[in-house]
Homo-oligomer: A and B are copies of this chain.
Amino acid sequence: MPILVQKFGGSSMADVACIQNVARRVAASKKDSPQGLVVVVSAMGKTTDKLVGMAREIASQPHGREMDMLLATGEQVSIALLCMALHELGLKAVSMTGAQAGIITENRHNKAKIINIDTEAIQKHLAEDCIVVVAGFQGVTPDQQITTLGRGGSDTTAVALAGALDAAVCEIYTDVDGVYTTDPNVVPEAHKLAEISYEEMLELAHLGAKVLHPRSVECAKKYGTMVHVRSSFNTNEGTYVKPMKDLEIHRPVTGVTADAKQAKVAIRHVPDRPGVAAQLFGALAEKAISVDMIIQSVQENLTNDIAFTVHEDDLTQAIAITQQVAEKLGARDVVYDQDVAKVSIVGVGMIGTPGIAAEMFEALSHARINIQMISTSEIKISCVVARSEVKQAMQVIHNHFVLPEGSAAENEELALL
């Protein structure tokens, strides 16, 4: 029997009426195609925030174990209520906590990773033609301690279950129609993508995180699970996230994304000798500062300039650490700029399509936008620009590369150039 996994997030489960809507939606899926149906749900609307609020009233730093004990209740309420609503529609349904569903995690609280799923109990219920409703976001350690999976946890539960159950597809219901070529609030020409590869989806993290957490994409990629991101408010097809080899349309550029919260730090005229970069980035890593782009360029007199970007919240600490390292190394100075942003184009089609980078630089240049840093990967090109220019940069790049919806033929043509 083919298995379908569906996931409904907190906004789809906001109140009793919403839960009844979800039940009708699940019932329709069950009716349309007789198959094993597993439904993963998040906590109702603001439940998690309320629980966190109570915990913070009591303790500024609640213990991780107790926090998980507390938060896991949110999803447990959801699964019970959704089952009741399914029963009212005359369907067989059974709720399962993460522990009951066999979702085993590492022994780490608040952001545990799933290490194994024992699907035996779920399979037993599916064999009885029962809809299985599983609490997302939670699991249990091998010695029965309740854990939660952290951000994007319910998506991860759904995708991991789909993988473990060898489901045909994992449907992620959300409040948007799917994955867009870029942020429609910034670029009105943005349109929904019919499909996207795991790799692109990951690179579009900042864009995509609103609809599908990168972690769940990693998980889908690992198992080769097809994910269908779609709206819980209509029955339109959304965006299919799938293996690169299965994509039907190859475009050089799939999406445009931006991160406006970047800051740039540069250490100038540092001696050009082995171990310099390791010393600087080792010191930053020690303080858990996540570095995004790194550019090293050779200067005159056997010295280098090393520039890198960090999240703006980490800037003050990054400057202090960099200055310490600069002194030790005998570098000239450390400069920084917190008014920068990163704009990126992503597309598996740029592999084997030369000239995409040049086109991007040309488009920016044409709009008189100065490029401060450049970084490229196989399927992504990123440019750091002044923060005030980032929206314009998104627009010109998007409208240069990404053609309007429905012009797949033209896209294909472009891919063949």
Contact = CB atoms under 8 A, between A and B. Distances in A.
A69 B79 contact: yes
Nearest to A60: B88
Given A55-B81, A81-B55, A88-B59, A76 B66 contact: no
Contacts of A59: 84-85, 87-88
Contacts of A324: none
A54 B16 contact: yes
A391 to B, nearest CB: 43
A57 interface: yes
A76 B84 contact: no
Nearest to A72: B76
Contact of A66 (B51, B69, B84, B146): B84
B70 A77 contact: yes
A11 B84 CA distance: 28
Q: What band does the interface of chain A fall in when counting residues whose beta carbon is under 8 Å from B? A: 35 or more
B100 A87 contact: no
Interface in A103-149: 144, 146
Q: Which of A19, A58, A88, A94 has the most CB of B within 10 A?
A: A58
Nearest to A75: B73
A83 interface: yes
A77 B76 CA distance: 11
Given A100-B144, A144-B100, A62 B84 contact: yes
A80 interface: yes
A289 interface: no
A67 interface: yes
Given A87-B63, A95-B69, A19 B58 contact: yes
A88 B60 CA distance: 9
A362 to B, nearest CB: 57
A56 B249 CA distance: 49
A20 interface: yes
A81 B100 contact: no
A192 interface: no
Contacts of A83: 63, 66, 69
A16 B51 CA distance: 11
A65 interface: yes
23 contacts: A16-B57, A16-B58, A20-B58, A54-B81, A55-B81, A55-B84, A58-B85, A59-B87, A62-B87, A63-B83, A63-B84, A65-B95, A66-B83, A66-B84, A66-B95, A69-B76, A69-B79, A69-B83, A69-B95, A73-B73, A97-B146, A99-B99, A100-B144
Given A58-B88, A63-B83, A70-B84, 11 more contacts: A19-B58, A54-B77, A58-B81, A59-B84, A63-B87, A66-B95, A67-B80, A67-B84, A69-B95, A73-B73, A73-B77
Interface of A: 16, 19-20, 51, 54-55, 57-59, 62-63, 65-67, 69-70, 72-73, 76-77, 79-81, 83-85, 87-88, 94-95, 97, 99-100, 144, 146
